[in-house]
A and B are shown apart, each in its own frame.
Chain A
Amino acid sequence: MSNVNISKLKEIVGEANVIDSSSEMAKYLKGPGKPAVVVLPGKTSEVSSIVKLANEQNVKLAVGGAVVNTQGITGGIAMVMSRMNQIVEMDKLNLVAIVEPGLLHKDFILKVAETGLNFPPEPYEVETSSVGGCFSIGDSDSKSFEYGPTRTFLLGFEMVLPTGEILEIGNKCIKNVSGLDFIHFAVGSQGTFGIFTKLLVKLLPQPEAKKAVIGTFASLHKANATFNTLIKRNVHPTRMNLINASFAKIAKPGTEGQLVIIDLQGFKESGKNIANEVASVLTLAGGFDVKIIEDAVEYDEVINGWLKVRAELNAKPERTVEFVVGPMKMPQALAQLEALTGDLGAYPGIIVEGLLGYVGLALPEGTEKLALATKVNKLAMSLGGNVKGLLGHKLKAEVYNDAEMWKQTTSLLNELRQQFDPKGILSPGVSLEA
């Protein structure tokens, strides 16, 4: 039985914005849990009232942009932010925007581009990811070498805390060290410190020119070897990515082989020269169909193909092993990985973000993720890296044989969470134990 006071919710957001029939709820939900109700707030004060209500009744609540992950909120409230989707302000002079969290990430990128500006972070799920979710996950992506990870683009926010209180912080200054840096600490907190209700986002001018160089390779390892060549030549593109043959078919239908995508965002003059340099490196290394892409439509197609593959991996974290090594160690990493897994071609897919030394490996159904991740982490550590994120930390501590450190880390994380959310109301599906 659920304690959710549906009629009270209706009072807060209006009848039309509370949905409690399971057939209608379905399109807002994903994951294993069965929340009692979906609620769509229209403004900050409503978000606050809903969270206060959840506290009073000790009901769990999770939030999403268009779709909510229901993990941990059976009998609880799923809060969908899609009605809060306005750009409150686009300030070209200061290169910032104030935006509501429910705006879809892809729509935000378009709106920003229309004003001649640039919001670099990649959407996580192309179709459903929201701006609030982007900062809530707070990842890095294949453009981070040049632009910095997602957190770089947050200057402030309004947030409803797990107690329902409203917190505002930050300003339009690009340098700000006042107080403790809760602004950037909140990035990546996955809805555990609070619900973003407004974001003050840093933007950049659009690059003068965008180009891509693509090429196809028969061998994954040969394709990857070109990245070391480029780094040694002191060429640091915006993206330097590799998609294996099976995923390449999703990214660019008709591709036969491993697809290399080099994205060059910058100035016209250098862009031309670097594109030529990259094209010759790819060709010399045995790449075929090497092509410099200047046409805007074709360029977008290539990039969107990349994002589609990325989303494919992002959607199945339980069936993906992600790790990072020193970028120049990638050839060894792939060789050693293959020694562990056997022919990588037999896997559903693999991608490499060359500038970051990142590998995402999609696992076949039935693979023991933890067992593989443990081995992969050892491999990665010997090459100056580790498995990504919280899981990586746990595995690293295991390798150091330092249970104490892991214990200390998790107890600090849990203490922080508890300080902000004493009743454990928000985002219960998010685990800080790995």
Chain B
Amino acid sequence: MLSQTVVKRLKEIVGEKNVVTDKVGLLTYGYDGTLLSGEALGVVSPTTTDQVVEIVKLMNEHDIKLVPRGAGTNESGGTIPSQEAIVISFTKMTKIHEIDTENFVAVVEPGVINFDLQVELAKQNFYFPPDPSSFKASTIGGNLGECSGGPKCFKYGVTRDYMLGLEVVLPNGKVIQTGGRNFQSEPGYDLTRIIVGSEGILGLVTKVFVRILPIPRAKKTMLALYDKVEDASQTVADIVAAGIIPTTLELMDNLLINTTEDFTHAGLPRDAGAVLIIEVDGYPEDMDEQVKTIGEIASKIAKEFKVAQTAVEVDQIWTSRRSAFGSVARVRPSYGVNDITVPRSNFPKAIGGVLKVAKDFGVTIGVVAHAGDGNLHPLILFDQRNKEETETVHKAEQALCMMALDLEGTISGEHGIGLVKKKYLDKEFTPAAMEAFRKIKRSFDPTNRFNPGKIIDL
């Protein structure tokens, strides 16, 4: 419980309505995209950098820790108040300060929803390449907190690649600026890069300078259908081997085809073993040849290959893909999202590995994957109320992580470590690397005030 003095001071800093301390209110901020939960001492929603500074200083005086939060859609437990702490919610810092298309920069507050930024940019025929499937809900601050990916990483990279500079409030309440409006502004060390993906454990981001790009002149969306998911994975490997860099190579297996069909009625054949969504973009005059090459490669194995002819068709395809996570909830009440990633050449093996884990543990797994990146999201369906089943699911998830590491991959391609995968971290990293993480955390936050217990313990 927060003392009356602290609550009073918080209300003075951010205003009455931006402080939550009632039970129901606290409960809503105790969840994220995972099945974990916790209860914060309070939730405070600043609207300016100065308020953030005041809050941090006040919390330091009273020795209270802070958990930063955007939209709370992360899949790693990163926003769960797992220790005594207040939640600092950035959802009221939603200003788009500036969109400067001539100079390829936008300046935003961290609470801006990715989609809202895209809408503003689209008006000027620009876009912000990182667009995680959660982009209608997730915030730029959260995207950078996790270094989110999305369907376009194959060609365009991840959130890290679009962060030019940040304004950051440090655990001691001081404000620094990292980077700037271009690639060449880092102060000695690339501080922007270490903040990106740090899940709120190093600093609170209060302003973000992002790189924006003109929308490509042309785009082609293709669909390939397969009898078996292994076949689809072969096409992925073949496309990469042919030296083609599509924007997107997304895969869904039969289970996901069916659950998303229930949801969207996009017209995907329910008997298909897997579907690949392939997209290329660039100059119009280069499209035909790329589509032709990809068609030839896919048709070797696929039972059907087609090129979307209208914008509506393209939309339908993407609606299916974007509803993938949510759609499985109709099958079983709970699902666990995994985020394993392997070198692209090992992607077919990883698919095999997932099928094996499903069999070995007797669990239902649906697969959706950013296949071109070697990034798989095996969704394990279960009922959390069933203790025994839940235990089995945890074991299966561990087996998936170990499988990815055996294939020289990683336990997280885009969702982050948070609380959920922390226990496997030392399986991926040597003691020297773990110690390097601690050195970095110690430099920023020697007394472990920001998002304590996430990623690593000091």
Q: Report A's interface with B, CB cutoff 8 A.
A: 91-96, 116, 138-140, 144, 148-149, 151-152, 161, 165-169, 171-182, 184-185, 187-189, 204-206, 231, 234, 236, 266-270, 273-274, 322, 324, 326-329, 356-358, 384-386, 388-390, 392-393, 396, 404-405, 408-409, 412-413, 415-416, 419-420, 432, 434
Contact = CB atoms under 8 A, between A and B. Distances in A.
B190 A138 contact: yes
Interface in B247-304: 282-283, 285-286, 289
A419 B214 contact: no
Contacts of B408: 171-172
Contact of A181 (B157, B196, B241, B443): B196
Contacts of A144: 183
B176 A94 contact: no
B380 to A, nearest CB: 20
B439 A172 contact: no
Contacts of A167: 430, 432-433, 436
Given A326-B103, A409-B176, A182 B436 contact: yes
A173 B283 contact: no
B176 A179 contact: no
Interface residues of B, number: 87
B440 A416 contact: yes
A176 B184 contact: no
Contact of A419 (B182, B186, B217, B442): B442
B414 A175 contact: yes
A332 to B, nearest CB: 12
B420 interface: no
Contacts of A420: 436, 439
B375 A94 contact: no
B444 A179 contact: no
A169 B436 CA distance: 10
A234 B102 CA distance: 10
A174 B153 contact: yes
A391 B302 CA distance: 56
A358 B444 CA distance: 31
Contacts of B237: 93
A413 B188 contact: yes
Contact of A270 (B197, B240, B285): B285
Given A184-B193, A269-B289, A177 B147 contact: yes
Given A175-B158, A234-B214, A324-B185, A412 B432 contact: no
A359 to B, nearest CB: 11
Contact of B105 (A94, A268, A384, A413): A384
Highest count of chain B CB atoms <10 Å: which of A161, A178, A322: A178
B345 A357 contact: no
Nearest to A267: B286
Nearest to A404: B174
A180 B245 contact: no
B49 interface: no
Contacts of B180: 324, 385-386, 392, 396
B398 to A, nearest CB: 15
B68 interface: no
A179 B439 contact: no
Nearest to A231: B102
Contact of A356 (B184, B217, B289, B411): B184
Given A180-B455, A182-B436, A205-B244, 14 more contacts: A96-B343, A171-B410, A175-B149, A175-B373, A266-B283, A266-B286, A327-B104, A328-B102, A358-B184, A385-B182, A386-B180, A389-B185, A392-B184, A419-B443
B160 A181 contact: yes
B100 interface: yes
Contacts of A187: 190, 193
